[in-house]
Amino acid sequence: MLPGHHFIDPVSGAACELVIPADGSGALYPSADGAGKIGVRHPGCQVLADIAVELDAFYCPPPGCGYSGRISGVQVLDMMRETRIAIRVTIPPRAGQAGPA
Ligand SMILES: [Zn+2]
């Protein structure tokens, strides 16, 4: 990846940026309490795309633009380690179930 977490999406050739909140609040998927999210900033859109590290891919869901591209999941995890952010994946509780204590 380029410095500053910028990289070129090999699908479109567009310059994108891996965004990891500097305060350590980021999670790969947004939590129910609205905590920060790790995502990909892409051209012409204000929505951070979701990253599927297991698929080496990212996707901008509705109400975003639907952009999809490729990113190395291993590099995402390395970048998270480099920024000393604990890997935290939050899975929302199903309706009727209590959330984590
Ligand atoms: Zn988008």
How far apart are the C-alpha atoms of 58 and 9, rounded to whole Å? 10
Spacing, Cα 24 to ligand 1 middle (Å): 23
pTM listed for this prediction: 0.71
Total Cβ atoms within 10 A of residue 46: 7
More confident residue, 3 or 69: 69
DSSP run (H or E) holding 58: strand 57-59
Report whether pLDDT(16) > 50: yes
Report whether pLDDT(4) > 60: yes
Q: Please check whether residue 85 is in contact with residue 64, taking contact to mean a CB–CB distance below 8 angstroms.
A: no
Spacing, Cα 42 to ligand 1 middle (Å): 6
Q: Please check whether residue 67 is in contact with residue 45, taking contact to mean a CB–CB distance below 8 angstroms.
A: yes
Report whether pLDDT(8) > 80: yes
Return all residues near 74 (Cβ < 8 A) that are at least 6 apart: 53
Spacing, Cα 16 to ligand 1 middle (Å): 11
Spacing, Cα 82 to ligand 1 middle (Å): 26
Report whether pLDDT(2) > 60: no
Q: How many residues does the chain have?
A: 101
30-81, pLDDT tens digit by residue? 666 656 788 999 999 988 899 999 999 999 988 899 999 999 999 888 887 7
Spacing, Cα 98 to ligand 1 middle (Å): 32
- What local confidence, expressed as pLDDT, does residue 24 receive? 64
